[in-house]
Structure 1
């Protein structure tokens, strides 16, 4: 498991409107593409420098494809990264102010201290 890789995915996808839309529409395709082409690139560095070993576990990949922010949190993804990305993807589907944020929080309400470790 790589909390770093989960958080890197959430961070990089959230900062590119085209990737946000691809993740919303075709999550399996986007996760596979990102893992194959971007996972091993140095974050925010487009010089071609890369590693070769970073891969999602099956559990991480499944949670990403399912847009399961609760499972992602359990796996160590930072909740602010999932919240900001998922707001960009799903807030437009709601009609009430903060409706998505409230639903997000309600799904996370069963967590008690100590929370899962989100340190990378």
Structure 2
């Protein structure tokens, strides 16, 4: 499991409107494409710099493909990153503040201390 890679996915997808829409419409294919094309790029470096070892495990891949933000939170994904990306994807489907309320409701079962979000 890589909290770093989960957070990198959430961060990079959230910053690209085309990826946000692609992830909303076809999450499984977007996760597979991102893992192949983006996972091993080094953030904030010149093109061509990359690593070779980063991959999602099956649990992470499935949580991402299912838009399962409670599971992502439990896996250690940063709650700010999940909230901002999922607001971008689903706020339009709810009344004002409706998605944020739904997010809080679906995470209400999590009690302190929260899962470790350090990477």
> Smaller-chain TM-score range?
over 0.9
Deviation at 1:47, TM superposition (A): 2.3
Deviation at 1:32, TM superposition (A): 0.3
Give the TM-score taking structure 1 as reference length. Answer: 0.97
Looking at structure 1, the residues matched to 89 and 45 of structure 2 have their Cα atoms a distance apart, in angstroms, of 25
CA offsets, 1:93-118, max 9 Å, x none?
11x21000000001111111111011
Structure 2 residue runs of 5 or longer lacking an equivalent are: none
What is the aligned length? 119
CA offsets, 1:39-65, max 9 Å, x none?
000012242110000000000000000
Give the TM-score taking structure 2 as reference length. Answer: 0.98
Structure 1 residue runs of 5 or longer lacking an equivalent are: none
Looking at structure 2, the residues matched to 66 and 23 of structure 1 have their Cα atoms a distance apart, in angstroms, of 10
Q: RMSD of the alignment, in Å? A: 0.7
Q: Within 5 Å, which residues of 2 pair with 1:72-91?
A: 72-91=72-91
